[in-house]
Amino acid sequence: MTAQLIELDSRRRASLSSLAHADHERYLAEVEPDGTIVLTPAVVLTAAEAGLQARPDIVEQLQAGSAPGAPFSTQRPARRPKS
């Protein structure tokens, strides 16, 4: 890993485009006591997604394609026209 100098602009902003990996758009930033800034790639989940991930039994069933209940549809239901 090579070090790269990053300068802040007049509004105290820095561009990370030359450093950021194309697969990541969001990062968690932590400032250590010595002033070091650590950026960690992050993924944002909805509350429903987080709840689902807390249930490994359901995730396993979904991955196996054997989840109980109504069959899954890959199409959205048709929207009713506005009146």
25-76 per-position pLDDT tens digit: 889 999 999 999 998 999 898 998 888 888 988 888 877 775 556 555 566 7
Tell me the β-bridge partners of 39: 29
> Which residue, 26, 68, 60, is CA-closest to 43?
26
pLDDT of residue 24: 84
Point out the least confidently predicted range of 2-6, 9-13, 79-83: 79-83
pLDDT of residue 35: 93
Only one residue has tokens 């199409």, namely 75
> How far apart are the C-alpha atoms of 3 and 36, rounded to whole Å?
14
17-39 per-position pLDDT tens digit: 888 777 888 899 999 999 999 98
